[in-house]
Amino acid sequence: MRVLGVDPGLTRCGLGVVDGGGGRQVSAVDVGVVRTPADAPLERRLHVVATEVAAWIARHRPEVVAIERVFSQHNVRTVMGTAQASGVVALMAAQAGLPVAFHTPSEVKAAVTGEGRAGKEQVTAMVTRVLRLAEAPRPADAADALALAICHCWRAPMLDRMAAAKARSDELAKAHKARLAAAAKGRT
């Protein structure tokens, strides 16, 4: 499975492509950061992010795009910019016909380091080790994008099994309700 991981942001948007094999085998394909000037108009900045993400999708042909889920921070302005960048990335994925998966920062940290409250340095160190990179990806946004892709490679099979189990459970519940309704009709 090839995953494009995206750590959304307006000033720096991390992009990382990872190939996942069976089990926990993963390998890095590419990593980078899209930068936009803080003084540029918002629509221009979003356009730059959209254009770069579309180019990465065309170049690397991922099967899925994994995006960090925006979470509440104290700085509303930062959250808004992150959410807007995240929406643009999801739109580019949808236009390419790709599914999008959102992972929270704590899910990503727990998947990669084993600790949901791990710091940036710990995440970067584990990404470097897991992907057997010669040097740590910089800045942290690049490492975070790779961590998102790794997280999705490792979590997707479990999430797929859970979704299939839920669908089967819903089918069984519907059939059971239909039998109960039929039995109730038979008594009246």
3-state SS of 155-183 is HHHHHHHHHHHHHHHHHHHHHHHHHHHHH
Q: Which of 39, 68, 115, 135 is catalytic?
A: 68
170 catalytic, yes or no? no
For this structure, is 68 an active site residue?
A: yes
Spot the catalytic one: 7, 19, 43, 135.
7
Active-site residue 19, yes or no?
no
CB atoms within 10 A of CB 132: 9
Catalytic residue among 19, 52, 135, 141: 141
2-7 and 64-68: which strand pairing? parallel
DSSP letter at 66 equals E
Distance CA 111, CA 127 (A): 11
What are the residue numbers of the active site?
7, 68, 141
